Structure 1
């Protein structure tokens, strides 16, 4: 039970990376730990730490610098805890896009590289899959440092550049433009355009702003602070090197306020004073401001960095199918927002729905769905009374195979549902 080693994710005075915390902000800054799952390569003797961001999530005026080892994959020696290598995905994060889930370890024959490469693939809230050589930390495909705009928030000093993976492409939408707004009808589109006129928009890494009732209420952001991807993470087929990732699309606004009653920090996240919730809501007539799909599964080839297919995952919600302004319209399956993981078999991708809907028979529930892992075509469904809250798992017992999912929601207590596969 004695401590074997410790690695400081906020490096101390004489430790590597301490110079990325200006004005000795390392002494008082919190968080920056690992809140997702940790992965280990026993053969290499390396532990992979997907780290979070420092305090506070949306304002870095009290922690100038790149803030190592925030938003990083840190590889440390299993026996000593010494740093082997690190990769920082976001410098000086003010978007709450820290790593939420376990890095996935797989050996892949990469196109254009000799032999087998030991790969680490890290899903992210910002919907990039970071693919690195897990022995050295070198990117499999180039990751470019691109210039970023400055912040106009008093006291904030953003990083001059941010890393942009060149492959694989983002597996969900990034940044907000008018093209992302709902367009089911011209009337809904017009209302959406009117609503966003009070907010800032831009590409990924557009900075937060001070919330102003007479100006911008905040910066609209895709993916949201929850992702993209959250803690269930993704899964990989070790035989084909294809990675399967659920992600969701939901918009948030990042506005900052000075509120001494809530915090002694100069700025924290908040809403513009005096603006009614209905006037800053990111919905139009009860519909999300951003157009679907709102949940999807992507198949990503780690051999080439290509996205092979994407499908909407999750049935269209009742409030959309039954919306009076949408009657008579042919709306494809929209997908659903939630915490969803994928299970891979020899032939299938299996994932549960995070929300409920009314089936043609009148039952209200959700589906456990199976897709052909080569094409993404749906090949089967099983009814569940509520949606899932995590990843499926499978096990064998007395010669039979079972699939288990965790479910909760809709006023129902969390429980595990087990399904036995047929003979």
Structure 2
């Protein structure tokens, strides 16, 4: 197998500085207090860990809901408005210095009392309905304390105690993110958006996001780009001044430009980050998990490896300069964006202490890299992959394959992986399976011929990320099993000669023809929802020993469809819920819900996905120690903190028949 250098570093002078910048301490919050939840992921390195154990295995069964608060309380709604009903509120709050910070489902930034959930202040200048955002960021220098959030296309800064905007930050407390200092002439930006949130490393607010081309503003005679690049930007934390911009699609003369053949970097875009970012405050580095270039399944207009698409990108936060990068997919043709933030961790491998990061992927690999140098901790080998037959397409002959850890989910569907709950279901699964070509990972889509892709475009891992225990070195990864069928089809209109057809591969009720049924609603009025043809678990939690790179255990997360009318008489064990659930790791326990229900856009989650149970697991075995049913499914990531001498667990909930809300659990 041939080797290809997927990693590139700056000059040795910069590398030496990085190596000396920090010792062997764990990634940490430089100013935080024990008992706070200062970052979206608990730590700046997205570990989702808190060293709290007031709630432990001996008393977790006594947990009760102690307060509930609407995600759109009356304080942020007009007198005639009602809370939004739906399950798509994916927000996670912060708890710092006695306040919970959040963006409401209606838009405005607000603060709650951590022991009661009562509203303390709201940002009265926020625009109602200013776009979805999964979180906010906090910064302090010990004297000043600020909360940063996205309000539509604006980056806003407010006083953490009062909610008042800083008039000296940008223009009256806001920076217009539709304004790019050096946008390309063929891709002026409009409708900037980002479902994630800012990250603050040292004194720099770092922003990613998903812009759109303002075609009406393209100069006459210039062909508009397919999409603008999702460039990464750094702003001064006090003034809002733009400090730097990193071009995720390199410009002429920049490193990586030659990985876009035929000057295709000039007309292509995306490759930014739609998920959230992480940082190492000691090193002064920010880590960006990038997405695929445009278009997801067709890349003839972008021949080459396409840096920095599908890459872990390490930038010096002071300058925005690239320190290193590692590309996980060359020339993506599968919509395998990097969906989750790199989890920063210190691990011990063969007796050596390593500042590492673990990058989850849709394709079921975990890429483990030295976060100082970008070098793989265990070998990542360039291995040959199948070549497609689309006219004019470019195909990378190899892809980087980690040797450790092993895949966290199935990477090809075979007949052995089909359901066999009953002979009738087995026969139907075989009939459906044999209509298509079930192909290995990294097989490109074909024109006019459908194939089964597993993992599908929802991935094995996704934006909900993982949890890491720094004391044991265990990484806990929620994954789903969701095959899709996909093909390319010729188009007579539109910007691409081919486009994708991508639908979930699901069985139907035995009596209903497969092709006649919408995958995201019941087969008939009052009838059963459809079943996957794959064997369970459909949603799992996978535990990986990161010191050894070995998977230790896997357990199903949730009941899944075992109560389906065709299965409920079989007395099956939990089958796992096919949805995006986020973990919370404490000193004593692993907490996790089952995710929300309802429509999930292009994610192709089935109607039975999600559940209202919330559980505490034994971290060593995955055994359920306690569970309770909440009013809705966990739509956001849970957090934990101490306030008034009591440990709380708070999580956002959503369901299709209720307004989103927060619930807080604590011991009596």
What is the match of residue 3 of structure 2?
Answer: none
Q: How far off its partner does 1:413 sit?
A: 2.0
Residue number among 328, 332, 336 corresponding to 1:93 in the alignment: 332
Q: Is the 8 A contact 2:542 2:555 kept in 1?
A: yes
Q: How does 1:189-338 map to 2 (within 5 A)?
A: 189-211=426-448, 216=449, 218-261=450-493, 263-270=494-501, 278-279=514-515, 286-317=530-561, 320-324=562-566, 326-338=567-579
Q: How far off its partner does 1:365 sit?
A: 6.3
1:229-259, Cα deviation, whole Å (9 max, x unpaired): 1111011001111101101111111211122
What is the match of residue 3 of structure 1?
Answer: 242
Change in CA separation of 1:321 and 1:264 when aligned onto 2, cut-off 3 Å: same
Give the alignment's Cα RMSD to 1 decimal: 2.1
Q: Which runs of 5+ in 1 are unaligned?
A: 357-363
* 2:631 is aligned with 1:385: yes
Q: How far off its partner does 1:355 sit?
A: 5.1
Higher mean C-alpha displacement, 244-253 vs 406-415 = 406-415
Partners of 2:644 and 2:596 in 1: CA distance? 33
Q: How far off its partner does 1:163 sit?
A: 0.9
Q: Is the 8 A contact 1:206 1:219 kept in 2?
A: no
What is the match of residue 38 of structure 1?
Answer: 277
Partners of 2:325 and 2:341 in 1: CA distance? 15
**When the two structures are superposed, what TM-score results if normalisation uses the length of structure 1?**
0.90
Q: How does 1:381-420 map to 2 (within 5 A)?
A: 381-420=627-666
Q: How far off its partner does 1:24 sit?
A: 1.1
What is the match of residue 374 of structure 1?
Answer: 620
Change in CA separation of 1:155 and 1:130 when aligned onto 2, cut-off 3 Å: same
Q: How far off its partner does 1:168 sit?
A: 0.5
Partners of 1:355 and 1:83 in 2: CA distance? 38
Q: Is the 8 A contact 1:53 1:98 kept in 2?
A: yes
Partners of 2:404 and 2:255 in 1: CA distance? 29
Q: How far off its partner does 1:265 sit?
A: 0.6
Partners of 2:541 and 2:257 in 1: CA distance? 39
1:297-330, Cα deviation, whole Å (9 max, x unpaired): 011011000111110001233xx42423x35424
1:264-300, Cα deviation, whole Å (9 max, x unpaired): 211111279xxx9933879798211212100000110
Residue number among 383, 391, 399 corresponding to 1:146 in the alignment: 383
Q: Which runs of 5+ in 2 are unaligned?
A: 1-239, 504-511, 524-528, 598-609
Moved over 4 A (4+): 280-285
Residue number among 5, 8, 25 corresponding to 2:264 in the alignment: 25
Change in CA separation of 1:234 and 1:6 when aligned onto 2, cut-off 3 Å: same
Partners of 1:293 and 1:155 in 2: CA distance? 39
Q: Is the 8 A contact 1:249 1:295 kept in 2?
A: yes
3-state SS, counterpart of residue 189 of structure 1: helix
Change in CA separation of 1:322 and 1:82 when aligned onto 2, cut-off 3 Å: closer
Q: Is the 8 A contact 1:352 1:388 kept in 2?
A: yes
Q: Is the 8 A contact 2:364 2:455 kept in 1?
A: yes
Q: Is the 8 A contact 1:235 1:342 kept in 2?
A: yes
Partners of 1:309 and 1:282 in 2: CA distance? 35
Change in CA separation of 1:113 and 1:23 when aligned onto 2, cut-off 3 Å: farther
* 2:587 is aligned with 1:346: yes
3-state SS, counterpart of residue 243 of structure 2: coil
Partners of 2:653 and 2:313 in 1: CA distance? 33
3-state SS, counterpart of residue 109 of structure 1: strand
Change in CA separation of 1:95 and 1:301 when aligned onto 2, cut-off 3 Å: same
Partners of 2:497 and 2:516 in 1: CA distance? 23
